[in-house]
Chains A and B, each alone.
Chain A
Amino acid sequence: MDILRFITAGSVDDGKSTLIGRLLYDSKNILVDQLDALERSSRNRGDGSVDLALLTDGLRAEREQGITIDVAYKYFSTDKRKFIIADAPGHIQYTRNMITGASNSELIIILVDARNGVVEQTRRHSIIASLLHLPNVVVAINKMDLVDYSQERYTEIIQDYEEVAAALELQNVTYIPISALDGDNIVDASTHMDWYKGKTLLNLLETVEVNRHTDLEHARFPVQLVIRPQTPEFPDYRGYAGKVTSGVFRKGDNIIVYPSGIEGTVKAVEINNKEAEAIFAPQSAVIHLNEDIDISRGDTIAKKDDTLRLGQDIDALVCWMDEKPLTIGKRYLLQHNSKTVPAIVKEIKYRLDVNTLDQQENPGKAGLNEIVAVYIKTASPLAYDAYNDLRSNGGAILIDDTSYVTVGAVLFQ
């Protein structure tokens, strides 16, 4: 059994919350008292029937306004897999929430209203899926009941979406005709659409391959802390504790420590306080080296390869997440894995229109929810990868130097 983390993209009007409610309900992951609470609040709102969407709206303001403000995480499991859903709002003013939810996801469900087909919002969600390099895309064509379960309409939407997918080079795109409200093709196969021979949504989620997207080739190990007990029992123990973000390390491997560039060899690797044959992504582990090298938090232990870059002049895409605009020349903090360094945005090259992918040159600044291509200068060198080469070492955040709020998502280019 493993874990699939996925995000659902769409707005309340597309039936996103209903879809999640339906997945939980039909897979028997909702318990009696939660259902009671649901029935109570549905009654209070005077809607007659049980509103499955209420299951995912956690905050009072959200329930009152019938909207989703923030990313909510939902958990369910079947005997095949544990699922973690990032339920993020879909409107353009919540682009940052969607990017937050997508950053940890391996799959995205993009909801399309069968009546409206591929619209601006569908394109925007697909662009975000492409920017964040999500390895699997499921296009759920919802509200099939409102188009008489028409296969023709379904095929038409697929043809439209294929153009979007091709332009964005999306990988592993799957289409499913559903009705979230009635549960068609969510957990159980629809009785209204005999023409559809594919998997139900749950079945697809249970079987889609995720592990093959773990990169085992490029070994990276950001050091979080040095374990040095200096006790009578462990006088000389010196272990570098961190997470294998990609790749594999084993005893005898030749490694390089970044940013210093000093070379060394692995003396032993440890998992759970025991020596292991190998450590691999995404394990938390300890590495011991044969050489006495000065290593501290923020350094990266890696094996030599062609994709790793070392530098302090960095091109990146930034999704801006703060009310105050991104300002050229202002000092920010950039946090990349376990390393935090001062950074200045030297230049904003262009702004990306998230609805059309058009580039607007030299916008001067970037506002909330905007995506811009920038050139960043950091105070000391970073060992990073391009996001599209290696997701786990290609992302960072920008922190406001005075408010300490997270203000930007950085994708290294």
Chain B
Amino acid sequence: MSYQLDYLDQLEAESIHIFREVAGQFERPALLFSGGKDSIVLVHLALKAFRPGKFPFPLVHIDTGHNFPEALEFRDKLAKKLGEKLIVRNVGDTIKEKGLTEPKGKFASRNALQTYTLLDTIQEFEFDACIGGARRDEEKARAKERIFSVRDDFGQWDPKMQRPELWNIYNGKIHKGENVRVFPISNWTELDIWNYIKRENIELPSIYFSHEREVLEYQEQLIAVSSFIQLEPQDRIVTKSVRYRTVGDMTCTAAVASEAHTLDDIIHEIIATNTSERGQTRIDDRVSEAAMEDRKKNGYF
């Protein structure tokens, strides 16, 4: 018998170990679930970590109200199939309750407002750990974040005060009011995620595959036409074969032109592409070079 592990098996083993550390170290953890591919992979890994037992945490979705209907439908179906608890909290409610100002503009995104709802939800359920699907290859600030990332009462990330993280020992000790963001797939890349989805035959929302959609062509990006964006007479609206490479809000996630109907097609496309995931599809990261770093410092994921 061979005692060698393929790279996907190595990544999987590391992620399962992290999940079980969360279960062992925290009293009230939660898994932040968006309906996107990375959080779907998290759920798949959690099954491997805890079945035949139940998940030691609920799935929590911070719903901006601007999500793709396909992703929401998938979310509900998956939670039901697994028999796991799903908690949904709406950014729209927070805006009303707290009198927050709705962002304005053509692609008014509630992305930054998510942080308010997230912090309220953490407080409401007294979550001490929130598991998320962020990966270090996504963005420069994320490349420096720990797998167990301690946040203060305001959810803030202080990059200069991070705890050293050695071997595979994760220090999850915190004071009351603090919480830890845990990133079990930190060491996976976009391509690793797709290869794993294919190998494990993991089901995804349909919008990840090529489909016909009405889109607005805007500064070389393709934005889905929806009631959440403001259209103007001069806008160029076309119907195209597109798919989504990432799934965020309809207001700030761009589609890519694609004829990829299968996982193999998608993997080929990703290998051939010359643009990064966030660069191609996230409007919110283009604002400044340190956009993500700033949002994280303010309590974002």
Contacts and interface: CB of A to CB of B under 8 A. Distances in A.
A399 B173 contact: yes
A34 interface: yes
B85 interface: no
A338 B13 contact: no
Contact of A103 (B21, B140, B167): B167
A211 interface: yes
Given A1-B6, A338-B21, A32 B166 contact: no
Contacts of B275: 31-33
Interface in A285-321: 297, 321
A41 interface: yes
Contacts of A282: 5, 10, 13-14
Contacts of A70: 144, 159-160, 162
Nearest to B190: A75
Q: Which of B3, B24, B53, B167 has the most chain A CB atoms inside 10 A of its CB?
A: B167
Interface in B1-31: 1, 3-7, 9-14, 16-17, 20-21, 23-24
B165 A100 contact: yes
Interface residues of B, number: 60
B5 A283 contact: yes
B261 interface: no
Contacts of B187: 73, 75, 84
B136 interface: yes
A273 interface: yes
Contacts of A413: none
B20 A224 contact: yes
B273 interface: yes
Contact of A273 (B17, B51, B159, B279): B51
B287 interface: no
A81 B54 CA distance: 35
Interface in B278-301: 279-280, 289-290, 293
B141 interface: yes
A72 B279 contact: no
Interface stretch (A144-152, A172-180, A186-194, A404-412): A404-412
A75 B163 CA distance: 22
B50 interface: yes
A2 B23 contact: no
B105 interface: no
A133 to B, nearest CB: 12
Interface string A385-413: 00000001001110100001110010000
A27 interface: no
B214 interface: no
B164 A32 contact: no
Interface in B174-224: 174-175, 186-187, 189, 191-192
Contacts of A75: 136-137, 187, 189
B163 A406 contact: yes
A314 to B, nearest CB: 16
A389 to B, nearest CB: 15
A96 interface: yes
A373 B279 CA distance: 48
Given A31-B273, A406-B165, A3 B10 contact: yes
A224 B52 contact: no
Given A70-B159, A406-B165, A229 B10 contact: no
A405 B174 CA distance: 9
B226 interface: no
A72 B143 contact: yes
B24 A297 contact: yes
A284 B20 contact: yes
B3 A216 contact: yes
24 contacts: A3-B11, A32-B274, A41-B289, A57-B140, A59-B141, A70-B162, A72-B140, A73-B144, A75-B189, A77-B189, A81-B7, A82-B189, A103-B166, A211-B3, A225-B24, A231-B52, A241-B20, A241-B49, A243-B13, A282-B13, A284-B16, A284-B20, A397-B169, A406-B166
Interface of B: 1, 3-7, 9-14, 16-17, 20-21, 23-24, 47-54, 136-137, 140-141, 143-144, 159-160, 162-169, 171, 173-175, 186-187, 189, 191-192, 273-276, 279-280, 289-290, 293
Given A3-B10, A73-B136, 20 more contacts: A58-B141, A59-B290, A60-B293, A72-B144, A82-B189, A100-B164, A104-B167, A214-B3, A229-B52, A241-B49, A241-B50, A243-B20, A277-B1, A278-B1, A282-B10, A282-B14, A284-B16, A335-B169, A404-B175, A406-B171
